[in-house]
Structure 1
Amino acid sequence: MTAEITADIHARLAGYRDRFDAVFARYFDTLAQQRLPRSTFVPEALELVRDMSLRGGKRLRVALLYEAARLVTPDPVPGLEEAALSIELLQTHGLIHDDIIDDSPVRRGASSVYYAYRDRYPDREQTALGLAVLAGDLAAFWSVQVLMSAPVSREARRAMAAVQATAGADTVVGQVLDLERDFGPLPDREALDAVSEYKSARYSVLAPLQLGLLAAGADPADHHEELARYARLVGVSGQLRDDYLDLFADTATLGKAAGTDLRSGRRSYAVCAVLAATADQERALVEAALTAPGCPPETVEQVQRIARRHGVDQQLRADIRQNAEGAAAVAAGWRGRWRGDAVEFFEYLPLWAAERAL
C-alpha cells in the first residue's frame, strides 16, 4: 500500500470518528434531559453507559456504515446517523457484558462498568453485578429504540431493525461459542473462525454494511453471500491480528503486558497455534500456563520463545495477510457495480489493518 492510500484511510476514519463522537455526546445529552423517575441509580446507570460509550474506540463500524452508503451514492443519506448510534450502542452493550463475563476491571483505559459498580457498592457484590447487567441491557434496548426513529421509510426501518436484531443475537451466540472454546478438546480452525464470525464479524462488519446499503436504498440481500464472505475474512484477519499482538507485541505497542489470553486461560488463535506446534515438555509448559491463571511474565516470555522457535509468529502473520488479501479480493469484485472510491476503501481497509500488525 502506498503512503497516499494509508493517509487517506487514516483521514477518513478520523473524520468519521470525530463527527460521530459529537453526535453520540448530543444523543446522551438528549437522554439525560428526558423525564426520569426519582432515582439515584437510574441517572447513575445512564452516566456509566455514556462514559463507556464516549471513552474511545476507532469507530470503525461507523466508518463502514457510511462508506457502505457511499457505495451507492455520494449524497447525504437520511438514517445513517441513527444507524450509527444504534450499532455503537450495541457495541457498548457488548463491552459491558463482556467485562462481566471476563471479570475485567479495565476497559479503554479506565474502570469497566462492572468494576465501577463494584467500587461504588463494595458490600453489595450481587447488586453491583445486577446493575452492570442492567446497564448493558439499557444500551441494547436504546440501540433498537434509536433505530426506530430513523427518518426513512417504514419498510427501510423494518429491514434495518431486522439486521440489528440479527446482529445482536449473533453476537450473543458468538459469546457462548467463545466460552465453549475453552472447554474440551483443543478447538480446530473451523471452531476458532466461528467464534470470530459470530462474536465480531457479523455485527462489526456485516451489519454496518447492510445498514448503510439499506439506508441508501439498496437491497443487501441481493449480495448477501459476498458481503458475508467479506465480513468473515475481515473478522478473522482482525481477530488473528489481535491474538498475535496479545502474545508477541511489546508493552509499548500493546499498551499492556503481553500474554493476557494465556494468563486468562483463553484458547486464542495464537495459543492454539503454539499448542498445535509443540509436544512433550514444551506443550506441557504451555498447557500449565493456561491452567494456572495469572502466570508470571517469565512464563509468558518462555511461551513466546517456544512459539518463535516453531515459527508460530511467522505463521500467524502469513494467516493475517492471507485473510486480509482475501477480503480485498472480494471488495475488488464490486468495481463496476458500485462507486469506485467507496469500493477502494473496502478494498484497502483490511490490508491497512493487517499491516498494523506486521
Structure 2
Amino acid sequence: MSQHLVAGVAGRVTGVLAEFLAAEVDTLRALDPAVADAAAPLTDLVLRGGKRLRPAFAYWGWRGVVADGADDEPVVRAVGALELLHAFALAHDDVMDASAVRRGRPTLHREFADRHRTGGWRGDPDRFGTSVAVLLGDLCAVWADRLIGTSGLPAPVLLAARRVYDAMRIEAVAGQYLDVLHAAGGSDGVAAAVKVARFKSASYTVQRPLRFGAALAGPVPPDAVAAYDRFGVAVGEAFQLRDDILGVYGETAVTGKPVGDDLRQGKPTVLAELARSRATPRQRALLDRTLGAADASDAELAEVTAVITACGARAEVEGMISARVSAGLAALAAAPVADPARRELSALALAAVQRAT
C-alpha cells in the first residue's frame, strides 16, 4: 500500500503542476511569444523528472495531523508549490556550480548559451545563458507563490503556513551561502559540514515541508510538531549525506548529473571533511592537491575516491546515515500522528536514503 500511495501523491502533484504551468505559459505568451518559448525548458525541468519528495513529505505531514475526511485537493495544490521552489533552487544552484547536466539534460544556463551560439547572437553566450537561467529560477519562485496563493485554502491557514515556508527559504539560502563560503575559504571541519547539510538539505527537503504540511491543517499539538522536527532533521541530514556519497560514487547515467563535480569544486561535504580528518599525511597531500581542482582528471578523481574509501570516510558516512534514519523513525514511531501517515512517512524516509539518484 505504501508504494501505491506515495506514487499516487507524486502523480497528483505532477498533474497539478502540468495544469498550472500550462496556464502560466499562456500568460507569458500573451506578454510575448519569446518569453513563453524561454519558459519551455523550465517547465520541462519541472515535469520530466524529480522524486517529488518535498511535496510528499508535506502532504503526509498534513495527513498525519488533520481530521479524517478533510478535503485534500487544495493541499495537493499547495504542496505542489514546493516542487516549483525546488526548480528555482536547482536553476540557481546549477549556475553557482557551473553544472552541465541536470536530470539527464543540459542545465538551463547551458541550454541558453547553446541557443545563443547556434543563433549567432551578439555578446557572450555564457553570460547570456547565466542571465536567462537566473531569470527562470526567479520566475519559478514567483510561480511557487502563485500556486500556494491560488490553492483554495483559507487565508488564515495560508498565513500560518507562509511563516514556515518563509523560514524554509531563508534557511535554504543560509545553507547555500555557507556551502559557497566554506568552499572558497577552505576546510572548516566536519561540524561545519553537518551544519551546511542541516540548513541546505534537512530543513528544505524534510523538516520544513513536514511543518508546512502540518500548518495547512490548522493548529497542531506541540508534541506533534516536536516529533516532526526530530524526524525531519534526522532524515533530512541522512538525505544530504546520501547525496554526498552519490556525488562521488554514483553513476551519471543514473543520477542525471555529473559525478565528481563535488570533488572538482572542492565542496566541503561531510564525506570530504571526514576523509581529510582520517587521511594519512600522504593521503592528505593528495586530497589537498586534487579537491577543488577544476581541471582534475578522471584518473586523479579515481585516486581521491579510493582514498575516501580506504581511510574509512565512506563507511563512517554510511553509519551516520543509518543512525539518523533510525533516530528519525524512532521519533516518528512515538509521534501522535495518524497511523497511515506514519507508515507513508516511514516509507518516504527509507526511499530518501536508499536511492541511486
TM-score strictly above 0.5 = yes
Q: Give the deviation of 1:306 after TM superposition.
A: 2.2
Which structure is higher in RCO with an 8 Å CA cutoff and minimum separation 6? 2
Q: CA deviation at 1:57?
A: 0.6
Deviation at 1:182, TM superposition (A): 1.2
**1:290 correspondence with 2:291:** yes
Q: After the TM superposition, which residues 1-358 of structure 1 pair with which residues of structure 2 at under 5 Å, given as runs?
A: 8-34=1-27, 36-71=29-64, 72-75=66-69, 76-122=71-117, 123-125=122-124, 126-219=127-220, 223-249=224-250, 254=255, 258-334=259-335, 337-356=336-355
Structure 2's unaligned 5+ residue stretches are none
Structure 1, unmatched stretches of 5+, are 1-7
Work out the CA distance in 2 between the residues paired with 1:148 and 1:255.
32
Moved more, 307-316 or 71-80: 71-80
Q: Secondary structure at the match of 1:44?
A: helix
For normalisation by structure 2, the TM-score amounts to 0.89
- Gap change, CA 1:291 and 1:104, over 3 Å in 2: closer
Residues 80-109 of structure 1 show CA distances to partners (whole Å, capped at 9, x for unaligned) of 122122111111100111111111121111
Conserved 8 A contact 2:54-2:205: yes
C-alpha separation in 1, matches of 2:351 and 2:104: 25
Q: CA deviation at 1:244?
A: 1.7
Q: RMSD value over aligned CA atoms?
A: 2.3
Q: In the aligned structure 2, how far is the partner of 1:240 from the partner of 1:297? A: 23
Of 95-104 and 307-316, more deviation after overlay is shown by 307-316
* Residues 61 and 204, structure 1, Cα contact 8 Å, conserved in 2: yes
Q: Could you say if the C-alpha distance between residues 99 and 258 of structure 1 is closer, same or farther in structure 2, counting changes exceeding 3 Å? A: closer
- Structure 1 counterpart SS, 2:99: coil
Cα gap change, 1:332/1:129 in structure 2, threshold over 3 Å: closer, same or farther? same
CA positional deviation for 1:21: 1.4
Amino acid at match of 1:286: L
Alpha carbons 2:91, 2:108 under 8 Å: kept: yes
Separation in 1, partners of 2:79, 2:328 = 23
Separation of aligned partners in 2, 1:66 and 1:38: 34
CA distance in 1, matches of 2:141, 2:261: 28
- CA deviation after TM superposition for structure 1 residue 215, in Å: 2.3
Stretch moving more, 120-129 or 130-139? 120-129
Find the aligned partners of 1:206 and 1:157 in 2 and give their Cα distance: 18
- Paired AA for residue 49 in structure 1: L
Distance 2:243 2:31 in 1: 43
Q: CA deviation at 1:345?
A: 2.4
Quick check: 1:77–1:215 contact (8 Å CA) kept in 2?
no
Number of equivalenced pairs: 348
Contact 1:237 1:319 in 2 (8 A): yes
> What letter is aligned with 1:141?
V
Amino acid at match of 1:124: G
* Distance across 1 between alignment mates of 2:221 and 2:134: 33
Work out the CA distance in 2 between the residues paired with 1:255 and 1:109: 4
Normalised TM-score (structure 1): 0.89
Q: 1:258 to 1:227 in 2, by over 3 A?
A: same
Match of 2:152, SS state, is: coil
Question: Structure 2 counterpart of 1:236, which letter?
Answer: E
- Name the structure 2 match of 1:4: none
Report % sequence identity: 29
Distance in 1, Cα, partners of 2:98 & 2:284: 27
CA displacement, residues 128-178 of structure 1 (integer Å, 9 cap, x when unaligned): 322221111111011112211222222101112222222222211111011
Whether the 8 Å CA contact 1:114–1:128 is kept in 2: the answer is yes
